[in-house]
Structure formats: structure tokens, C-alpha cells
Amino acid sequence: MKPTLFIFLICIITACNSGKTEKSVHSENQSWAIKFADATMTRYDSLVTYLGKKPKYEYDLAFLASAIDKLVSTDPKYSEYAKDYIDYFVKEDGTISGHKLADYNIDRIRPGLNMLELYKRTGDEKYRKAIETLVSQMETQPKTNSGGFWHKKIYPYQMWLDGIYMGSPFMARYAKDFNQPKWFDEVTFQMEEVYNRTLDVNTGLLYHAWDESREQRWCNPETGQSKHFWSRAAGWYIMALVDVLDYLPENHPERPAVIEILNKFSEALLKVQDEKTGLWYQVLDMGGEERNYLEASGTAMFVYAFAKGAKKGYLDQKYLDIANTTFDNMVKVMVKTGADGMPVLTNTCGACGLGGNPYREADYNYYVTEKQVDNDQKGVAPFILAAIELNK
């Protein structure tokens, strides 16, 4: 072989290997947010059929869309993917397919956050009309005698921690974007009301729900509080606190109270971290009990709230360190590689509620036996948000 040809071939091989190495390193160094967003988009053409389910206007899929949309500055494809989910349900005349005002289901308010962002970016009137539909629901949402929003019409006189996240950040952003300050007062009242009604003074933790009527089998007949501290319910609530603070005016009289609750609740959560991993259990205060398990969605929500709270100055900087360590342990314990070579988030509770038909007793056995779902949207979404906050 001539020397010049040999050198030419060596250069080509080196260049090819170099390209492969760079591609491999790039893949390994991608953020966890991008890895999970790309995996989601590769596995599913649309969030409308995520995990192979039938199309449904739902809070959790809108939540995942919001998380993926946070990556819009990286690539517009993420925003388009998120937008497609909302556009499937919001029609050109502003009506929302799948939303029934008469249900007074506060879960159905959460997609409004997506609509507010889309209206800000596009100015499309269909989003504004849809937003006003959701506001009209909150204007007439049934309330407890003490003024707390019912979780749903079918759950009269009940406040659930979940519902605070479903409604409050939307109302707070609407108040800011549309100059409707009355909603700031409503939002802070709701967050403080559910805190006081579900608080366990001994631990500082919050029970999943409160029944003002004391009629439900799942509640304490003396206090109306439910029986257990569910990790994801706590996660919904703490995310609501840090997200509402994005919009609540600096001079709002209840802002210090919201930050105080955030600090007290965060300290309570630290006391029930798993000592070995720093993760949190499905039933928060019963780590080590039979069938209880380290749960991904609640853990990711706490990590997100701790990271954001510390970066914003609401929480001590120690929470940023805690968030970083916990996220790394989440990856070690809860993330695996699927058969398709893409990441899978495990250990995520599919759903937990109270009462209803068939009746959910919300006892210990109920919480630890509800089905776990790999890549459940309620786990992937906060995991992406936490990764973005931590630049992981």
C-alpha cells in the first residue's frame, strides 16, 4: 500500500471514530430533562395517547406538557409537542373538549397554566376564551362553610392537598397576567386554609385531605382529617407554594405567611427522609413498614420545590445541597434503561384518592397496594422540572 493512501485511510478511520466518540459523549452529557423529554417524544407521537391511553383532557398530561415546554429554549420542538396536547382539546372557538363546568372538578383547572403560557406567546384568542371558561368555574366553585374550595362536586365539603396545586398557580398567574388582584387573596387563603385543616401539629406533616362534614369513613370523626400522609399529595402542595410565589406580588400581605409555611413544611419533610438514600416513602412517616416503598413522584416534587425555593431565596441554601444529593440518588435507585435503550422512571404510584365508588378507605393498605406505573406522567413531569432546576 502506498504511504499516501495509508495515511489517507488512517485519517478517515480516526475521523469516524472521533465522530462516534463525540456523539457518545454528547448523549451521556445530555441533561436528564432532555433525555426524558426525548424519550417521551420518541415513544409517543403525542401526549394525547401517552402510555397508550385514550385521549383525555387531564391535569397530569398538561403537567407533563408544561415540563417539556420548559425546554423550549433548547429546541422549539419541545414547545410544539406541548402545544399539540392543548390544541387537541381547545377548539378554535375557545371551547374545551372534555371540560364540564357542572362537574366543578378542580383537576380540570390545571391545563389552564398551559393555556396562559400559549396565550402569552401567540395572542391567539381561542386560548383567552378557554382561560375565561376556567376562571368562570373558579368563580362559582363550591366551597366549604369555612371558604375552602371543594375538590370536586362529587366530593362535597372536602379539601384535598392535590387541589391546591391544580387551582392555585393558575389563579395566581391569571391574577398577574390579567391584572385581577382579587385572585391573589383567594389563592393565599386557600393555601393557608388547607394547611391549617390538614396539619398534624406533632410532625408538621399534612394529611392527604380534610372533610369538613366529618361524614366520610376515611376521616377522623373529631378533626375531619384523613388517616395518612401521602407523598404525592404533599408534593402537589409544596410545588403550589413555590410556583404561586412566582406571581404573588412582593408587597402582598400574605406573602410572608406563604414563605413561612414553605419553610415549616420543608423542615417536616426532612425528618422523614429515608436515612440511606434521602428519598421519600409512599406513606411518608412509615418508612421501613411492610410494603411501603420509596416513591418517585413525591420525591421528585420535593426535590424540585427545594431546589427552586433555595435558588429563589425562600429556603436556606442547605436545601439546594439536599436537592442535588437526592436527585442523584433518584437516578441511582429509580431510573433504569428500557429495552428501547431509553430511560424509564420506576417506583411511581399511578393514582390515589379518597372515597368515591368503589370506595377508597385511604388506609395504609390502600396507599401501599395501588398500582405502580413506569414512566407515569405524574413522576416524569416533576423529574424533568427538578433536572432543569438543578441543571442535571
Rounded to whole angstroms, how far apart are CA atoms 137 and 313?
34
Coil, strand, or helix at residue 114?
helix
Could you say which of 107, 162, 243, 376 is catalytic? 162
* Helices 76-89 + 111-122 axis angle, to 10: 120
Residue 160: its H or E element: strand 158-160
For 201, counting Cβ atoms within 10 Å of its Cβ (0-12 exposed, 13-18 middle, 19+ buried), the class is exposed
Q: Which three cell numbers stand for residue 178?
A: 390579567
- DSSP-derived secondary structure letter, 149: B
Cα separation of 174 and 269, whole Å? 30
- Angle (nearest 5°) at CA 241 between 73 and 367: 100
Sign of CA dihedral 158, 175, 64, 327: negative
Catalytic residue flag (residue 162): yes
C-alpha distances out from residue 195 to 10, 210, 235, 260, 261, Å: 68, 10, 13, 12, 8
What are the start-end ranges of the H helices in 178-246? 182-198, 231-244
145 Cβ neighbours under 8 A, 6+ residues apart: 157, 212
CA dihedral for 150, 155, 158, 161, sign (positive or negative): negative
Q: Which residues pair with 355 in a beta bridge?
A: 360
DSSP-derived letter for residue 109 is G
129: closest CA among 177, 84, 93? 93
Positions marked active-site: 162
